[in-house]
């Protein structure tokens, strides 16, 4: 096992233990943001509640919605009903695990920490946003499609299956590793293009080593020019 892989495993365990021990708090903190995202993405449903509950010993996001407008699927129309309610759920782990893997992959090499932190914040937000909230929304559409007897599911439903089968975790690892590579490449490029400060105040001329004064180059060039000129001729008296 290489050092980078060993650090990735160690960080996964460390970050995972830290986040999972606070999973319920993290889930509750994310609930309002998830509800806002779902409502913004799809106005078909009206979010009634989104909370973290325990189902079968597992921490779960539980979403309750009603129809905000009529929707027609497979020739069947569903109209809003104040008494109607649909429920959708997904594991809190579907938000925590990709975050752990993304951060572990991003920080697997112990350098350029400031740049890595700058990438970590938007990266975590994106990884979380494409996971649990979209899964909750997709599960609602699955209910509608099944109630309408439709077999041609929307792409969002297939995305939910991809997420719950671990697809976002693989994306998280790949994104973290790609971010780490780009950060290191940028650091190497900057280092290679930074001028060497130790050479400040020196100059050089063709065929001569660097010297501390431009005057030396001028004198050398003058001597070379004089050597190339023919000697003056003296006229016969």
- Mean pLDDT of successive 10-residue segments in the chain (237 residues)? 82 93 92 94 93 90 94 90 90 92 90 88 93 92 90 80 86 90 84 62 45 48 52 52
Predicted local distance difference test score (pLDDT) of residue 163 = 83
Residue 206's pLDDT is 45
pLDDT of residue 103: 94
Nearest to 60 by CA among 92, 26, 94, 24: 92
| pLDDT value of position 46 | 94
Query: Quick one: pLDDT at residue 230?
Result: 55
Please tell me whether the overall predicted TM-score, pTM, comes out greater than 0.85 for this model.
no
Summarize the chain as % helix, strand, coil (round to 5). Answer: 60, 15, 25
Number of H helices, E strands in the chain: 8, 5
Residues 85/165/36/66 CA torsion (nearest 10 deg): -10
Q: Are 84 and 60 in contact (CB under 8 A)?
A: no
The SS3 of residue 2 is coil
């Amino acid at each position: 096992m290489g050092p980078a892989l060993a650090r990735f495993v160690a960080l996964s365990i460390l970050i995972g233990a830290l986040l999972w021990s606070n999973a319920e708090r993290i889930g509750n903190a994310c609930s309002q943001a998830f509800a806002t995202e779902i409502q913004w993405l799809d106005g078909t449903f009206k979010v009634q509640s989104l909370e973290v509950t325990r189902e079968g010993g597992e921490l779960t996001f539980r979403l309750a919605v009603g129809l905000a407008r009529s929707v027609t699927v497979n020739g069947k129309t569903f109209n809003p009903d104040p008494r109607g309610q649909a429920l959708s759920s997904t594991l809190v782990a579907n938000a925590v695990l990709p975050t752990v893997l993304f951060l572990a992959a991003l920080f697997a090499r112990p350098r350029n920490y400031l740049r890595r932190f700058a990438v970590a914040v938007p990266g975590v937000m994106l990884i979380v946003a494409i996971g649990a909230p979209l899964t909750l929304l997709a599960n609602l559409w699955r209910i509608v499609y099944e109630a309408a007897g439709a077999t041609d599911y929307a792409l969002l439903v297939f995305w939910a299956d991809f997420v719950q089968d671990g697809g976002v975790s693989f994306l998280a690892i790949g994104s973290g590793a790609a971010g780490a590579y780009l950060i290191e490449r940028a650091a190497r490029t900057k280092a290679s293009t930074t001028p060497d400060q130790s050479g400040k105040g020196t100059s050089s001329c063709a065929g001569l080593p660097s010297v501390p004064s431009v005057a030396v180059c001028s004198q050398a060039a003058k001597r070379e020019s004089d050597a190339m000129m023919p000697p003056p001729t003296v006229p016969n008296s």
